[in-house]
Structure 1
Amino acid sequence: MTTSSKGMIIGAVLAISAVTFGFWAMILVAVAIVIGWGVGRVVEGKLDLKGLTDTLRGRRSS
């Protein structure tokens, strides 16, 4: 599945949730999608949580 196909599916899910349930439900669905994406990246080993937390705290490693 290409990146553009995934984007279209996510957009369709958000649009349907906005029309059906309203704005705040769409925001909740968007947050759930982002959390699911993050968990998937961690499980695949493509997202380093330690590096991410260091970056968010302002620590840098060169």
Structure 2
Amino acid sequence: MSRAMWGLIAGMALGFAGYFGGFEAFLLVLGLGAAGLVIGRLLEGDLEPGDFVRRRDSGQRIRDDQRRARRDWRR
């Protein structure tokens, strides 16, 4: 099934939950759908648990002096 079809099904489920169950049911279905999406992506291998956190000791962190240098360079 295509992603557009899954999006249609998810949208219809949210619509039905909102119409028949009220706003609380809409939020519950939305939250459970998001959790299911993340769990499904983890099981498929598209995501890894480390994708949600960033280590402080990695080279991805920008130090304050580098941030100032970038800001001054843009001016």
Provide the TM-score with structure 1 as the length reference: 0.82
Gaps of 5+ in 1: none
Distance (whole Å) between structure 2 residues aligned to residue 11 and residue 34 of structure 1: 12
In the other structure, the counterpart of 2:25 is: 25
> Match for residue 54 of structure 2?
54
1:35 deviation in Å?
0.1
RMSD: 2.0
* Aligned AA (2:48): D
User: How many percent of aligned residue pairs carry the same amino acid?
Assistant: 29
Q: Which has the higher helix share?
A: 1
The structural deviation recorded for 1:51 is 2.4
How many residues matched?
Answer: 59
| TM-score under structure 2 length normalisation | 0.69
Instruction: State the Cα distance separating 1:45 from its structure 2 match.
Output: 1.1
* Aligned residue runs from structure 1 range 29-48, under 5 A: 29-48=29-48
